[in-house]
Amino acid sequence: MKLDVRGEMCPYPAMKAKEALAKLKTGALTVLTDHAPALSTVPWEGAKAGYDAEIVEAGRGEWRITLTRHEGVLDRAAALEKISAQLRDLGHG
């Protein structure tokens, strides 16, 4: 499932991602955003719902966040650290 929230500011990207995850039965949710604060809020919404996040730069000022179901029990502290590390790698942490 893909969700394009380019042009939308917080809290809408995270809210729309949360709604999409609630509807997602299988597979992954890919969120395309151009709003840097969504790089932390969208992955955190995913973590709260049991999803891992991968954040990659999709272009100048655009990012792709892929949320995939975590196998087993998701350690939220570990998920937050992983999100933080990805943001640091992207120069946003």
Domains of the chain by range and CATH? Answer: 2-89 (3.30.110.40)
pLDDT at 71: 85
* CA 72 – CA 37 distance, rounded (Å): 28
pLDDT at 73: 84
pLDDT at 87: 93
Q: For the chain, which ranges sit under pLDDT 70?
A: 93
pLDDT at 49: 92
- The β-bridge partners of 67 are 29, 53
Mean pLDDT of the chain: 94
Residue 71, C-beta contacts closer than 8 angstroms, at least 6 positions apart: none
